[in-house]
Every structure is written in C-alpha cells, then in structure tokens.
C-alpha cells in the first residue's frame, strides 16, 4: 500500500487546550501508511492574525498539487471556527479532495441549536464526521452527516510509584469559570474542608471569572495556567480529580486523570459518564451538596480510591490508549481516503 498524505487544519499546537493536544496526538502517532501535514487556522493573538491564518490555509488548500494531498481533516469546535470549517470543506470539495471533520468542544451543541444551517453546511460537505459524544453523534445524523462515528481522544496509562490513597490533594484543571462549574466546586469545598482539613484543593487553568479566585476558601490554592506537563505532575500528587462542568464534550482532563490512576468526580455532561465508567463518581450538575458528599465519601474510603484508580487505568488501556487510537485512525483514513 502506498503512502498517503492527510492535510490537517486546526488551532496552533503550541497553545494550551484540548483540541491542540488531540491534534498533536495525530501528529505524534505512527499512522503508517499515512503521514500528517498540519496547517494552523487559528491563533488567539488577534482577530487580524486569525483571518490571516485562515487566508493562508485556504491558499494552501487551493494551490497545493493534487498529488501531494490524499485527504483533508478539519478540526472544528464552535463560533467563528464553524465558519472556518465551512470555507475549508467547500474548498476541498471543489478540488474533489475527500474530507473528514472532527467536532470538538463543549459549546458545539449551543451552535446546533443557535445556528443549525451553519452546522448543516459543515456536515453536508464532509465525507466523514467524527465526534466525541453520543449527543453530538445524534445531532450530526439529524443535520445531514452522511457517515458519523465516535472517535475517542487518546491518552496513555501512567502508573505512579505512590499510591493514590496516600495523597492529600484534590485537583481541578480547566478554565476557571461558570461553564466548568468552579463556582459550584468552591461552594462545595467549604463543607469538604470542614470534614477533611488536611486535604487541599488546587485549581489550575486560565481565569474566565476573576471573582472566583479573588477570595478563595480555606484549603484552596490557585496555581495558574500550566502546560500539560504541569497538569500531569499535579495529577501525580492528587487523590481525586474534580470537574463539575455544566457543558463538555470529552474533556482531556478526565482522560488524563484516569490514565494517571486518579479517580474522578464529575457531572453527567457530554461524553463524561460513558468515558468514566466505574473509575469515578457522577454527580448532578450545579449541586454543591452532591459534589461535596461525593468528594467526602471517596476521601473517607481509601480502598475505594485504590480500586477506582485501577479501573481507570484499565479502561484507558482497553479503550483510550494511543495504540487503540492509532488503529482506529488508520482504519478511518483507509475507508475515507482510499479510492
């Protein structure tokens, strides 16, 4: 079988965020006979630079020799990113390149309800749509997608030398704001701290709502936005990972926690419940009492923490490892891009 080149379009890979880390997984994976050529279409620097990046990407797609592109893979999430996706997919369609679009992001379903024509324009121009949750899968089928499949994000198990029940830190990593439920977590933590004063809560991530960290409860620290390596190091020192989000797709923080053997307390949004399985606890969205109770019950039961730790790493090995991801992507490209 001859080698093939897949042109990927997505955000800068050196910027923090789940989409960039997933695309990096494609770049790093051994996808032979396929190779990845990545073109950035987004940078948070300024709107002018965003438009300039898009113009360059469209020029690449419009002018590159057909012999140097076997398929086009567009990554999209929400808002103006959907417009970028339509322009790229339409350009690829006019040049008769087969296309895949991967839908990321927790806010995509908002756009499904707010701008269904725009979303339909994306799905109708893609030969294959890959998604991260059953909710988006159903929406894609309703809005004109020809072929749709679930393609989970990849992560590798990372065994730790120190047992999870010996740690005294709970970790949140993500945008510090309302969507991620940090307001709910801080209200819950007051009750947790009253029962488990020796356990601390560490918040990591960019701040969307400064009022949330202006006056933190006892036992809570804000560690700033850290690169992925810093988040992984924090997980290795944590007994629990907490993500009380109001909206998600398939958050990398949950997968990274499972890979590190850290049990998770999270809400039933996006693909979290099906991803987490029995490696954590699901609580009601926006309920600080339920969140506090779940955290306290796990902190009081070291044996349960250890068992959940093992389950999480087993689930990652069986369903979310780089090996499984690589096998699925190669099959996807073979089916979509081979004539």
CA separation for the pair 118, 84 (Å, rounded): 11
Confidence at residue 283, expressed as pLDDT on a 0 to 100 scale = 98
CA separation for the pair 149, 332 (Å, rounded): 9
Give domain status of residue 220, yes or no: yes
CA separation for the pair 66, 62 (Å, rounded): 10
Length of the chain: 339
Give domain status of residue 55, yes or no: yes
Q: Do 282 and 328 belong together in one domain?
A: no
Pure H helices in the chain:
18-28, 47-63, 80-94, 108-114, 116-125, 134-142, 182-195, 211-214, 228-235, 252-259, 272-276, 288-299, 302-315, 322-337
Lowest mean per-residue pLDDT among 35-44, 69-78, 260-269: 35-44
Q: Do 145 and 188 belong together in one domain?
A: no
Confidence at residue 79, expressed as pLDDT on a 0 to 100 scale = 85
∠ CA 198-166-153, rounded to 5°: 105
pLDDT digits (tens, 9 = 90+) for 217-249: 999 999 999 988 899 999 999 999 999 999 887
Confidence of residue 308 (pLDDT cuts 50, 70, 90): very high
Q: Do 149 and 202 belong together in one domain?
A: no
Confidence at residue 20, expressed as pLDDT on a 0 to 100 scale = 83
Residue 128 pLDDT > 90, yes or no?
Answer: yes
Residue 130 pLDDT > 90, yes or no?
Answer: yes
Q: Do 139 and 177 belong together in one domain?
A: no
Q: Do 140 and 177 belong together in one domain?
A: no
Give domain status of residue 159, yes or no: no
Query: Quick one: DSSP state of residue 206?
Result: -
Per-residue pLDDT, averaged over 273-283, amounts to 95
Per-residue pLDDT, averaged over 122-137, amounts to 93
Residue 2 pLDDT > 80, yes or no?
Answer: no
Contacts of 120 (CB under 8 A, 6+ apart): 143, 144
Q: Do 212 and 141 belong together in one domain?
A: no
Q: At 25, phi and psi to the nearest 5?
A: -65, -40
Confidence of residue 181 (pLDDT cuts 50, 70, 90): very high
Per-residue pLDDT, averaged over 276-292, amounts to 97
Confidence at residue 1, expressed as pLDDT on a 0 to 100 scale = 55
Confidence at residue 199, expressed as pLDDT on a 0 to 100 scale = 98
Confidence at residue 220, expressed as pLDDT on a 0 to 100 scale = 98
CA separation for the pair 260, 279 (Å, rounded): 11
pLDDT digits (tens, 9 = 90+) for 329-338: 999 999 999 8
Lowest mean per-residue pLDDT among 96-100, 152-156, 203-207, 330-334: 152-156
Pair of tokens at residue 280: 């954590």
The domain in which residue 139 lies consists of 4-154+321-337
Q: Do 103 and 133 belong together in one domain?
A: yes
CB 195 within 8 A of CB 264: no
End-to-end CA distance of the chain: 12
∠ CA 20-92-99, rounded to 5°: 60
Q: Do 135 and 77 belong together in one domain?
A: yes
* Total tally of structural domains belonging to the chain: 2
Give domain status of residue 289, yes or no: yes
Lowest mean per-residue pLDDT among 26-35, 246-255, 274-283: 246-255
Confidence of residue 16 (pLDDT cuts 50, 70, 90): low
Residue with tokens 């997933």: 22
More confident residue, 107 or 221: 221
Pair of tokens at residue 79: 């808002």
Lowest mean per-residue pLDDT among 57-61, 112-116, 323-327: 112-116
H or E segment and range at residue 36:
strand 34-42
pLDDT cut 70: percent of the chain above it: 98
Give domain status of residue 243, yes or no: yes
Q: What share of the chain is helix, strand, coil (3-state, %, to 5)?
A: 45, 20, 35
Confidence at residue 159, expressed as pLDDT on a 0 to 100 scale = 82
Q: Do 57 and 127 belong together in one domain?
A: yes
CB 223 within 8 A of CB 207: no
More confident residue, 3 or 70: 70
Q: Do 69 and 170 belong together in one domain?
A: no
Per-residue pLDDT, averaged over 284-295, amounts to 98
Highest-confidence segment of 42-56, 63-77, 157-171: 63-77
Give domain status of residue 28, yes or no: yes
Confidence at residue 98, expressed as pLDDT on a 0 to 100 scale = 97
∠ CA 283-278-151, rounded to 5°: 95
Confidence at residue 133, expressed as pLDDT on a 0 to 100 scale = 85
Give domain status of residue 312, yes or no: yes
Confidence at residue 80, expressed as pLDDT on a 0 to 100 scale = 85
CATH number of the domain within which 135 lies: 3.40.50.2000
Give domain status of residue 105, yes or no: yes
Q: Do 203 and 230 belong together in one domain?
A: yes
CA separation for the pair 261, 279 (Å, rounded): 9
Secondary structure E strands in 77-118: 99-103
Q: Do 313 and 178 belong together in one domain?
A: yes
What global pTM score does this model have?
A: 0.84
């Amino acid at each position: 079988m001859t080698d093939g080149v897949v042109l990927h379009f997505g955000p800068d890979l050196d910027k923090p965020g789940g989409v960039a880390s997933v695309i990096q997984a494609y770049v790093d994976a051994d996808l032979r006979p396929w190779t990845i050529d990545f073109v950035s279409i987004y940078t948070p620097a300024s709107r002018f630079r965003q438009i300039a990046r898009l113009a360059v990407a469209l020029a690449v797609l419009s002018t590159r020799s057909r012999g140097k592109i076997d398929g086009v893979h567009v990554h999209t999430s929400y808002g103006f990113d959907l417009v970028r996706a339509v322009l790229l997919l339409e350009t690829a369609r006019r040049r008769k390149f087969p296309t895949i679009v991967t839908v990321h992001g927790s806010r995509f379903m908002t756009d499904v309800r707010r701008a269904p024509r725009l979303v339909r324009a994306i799905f109708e121009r893609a030969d294959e749509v890959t998604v991260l949750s059953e909710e988006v899968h159903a929406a894609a089928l309703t809005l004109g997608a020809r072929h749709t499949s679930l393609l989970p994000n990849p992560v590798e198990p990372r065994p730790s030398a120190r047992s999870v029940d010996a740690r005294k830190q709970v970790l949140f990593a993500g945008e510090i704001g309302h969507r991620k439920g940090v307001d709910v977590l801080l209200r819950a933590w007051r009750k947790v701290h009253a029962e488990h004063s020796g356990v601390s809560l560490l918040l990591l991530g960019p701040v969307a709502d400064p009022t949330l960290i202006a006056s933190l409860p006892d036992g809570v620290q804000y560690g700033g936005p850290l690169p992925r390596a810093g988040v992984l190091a924090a997980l290795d020192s944590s007994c629990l990972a907490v993500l009380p989000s109001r909206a998600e797709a398939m958050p990398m923080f949950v997968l990274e926690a499972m890979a590190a053997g850290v049990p998770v307390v999270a809400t039933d949004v996006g693909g979290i419940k099906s991803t987490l399985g029995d490696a954590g606890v699901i609580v009601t969205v926006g309920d600080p009492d339920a969140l506090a109770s779940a955290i306290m019950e796990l902190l009081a039961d070291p044996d349960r923490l250890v068992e959940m730790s093992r389950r999480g790493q087993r689930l990652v090995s069986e369903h979310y490892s780089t090996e499984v991801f690589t096998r699925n992507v190669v099959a996807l490209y073979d089916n979509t891009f081979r004539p």
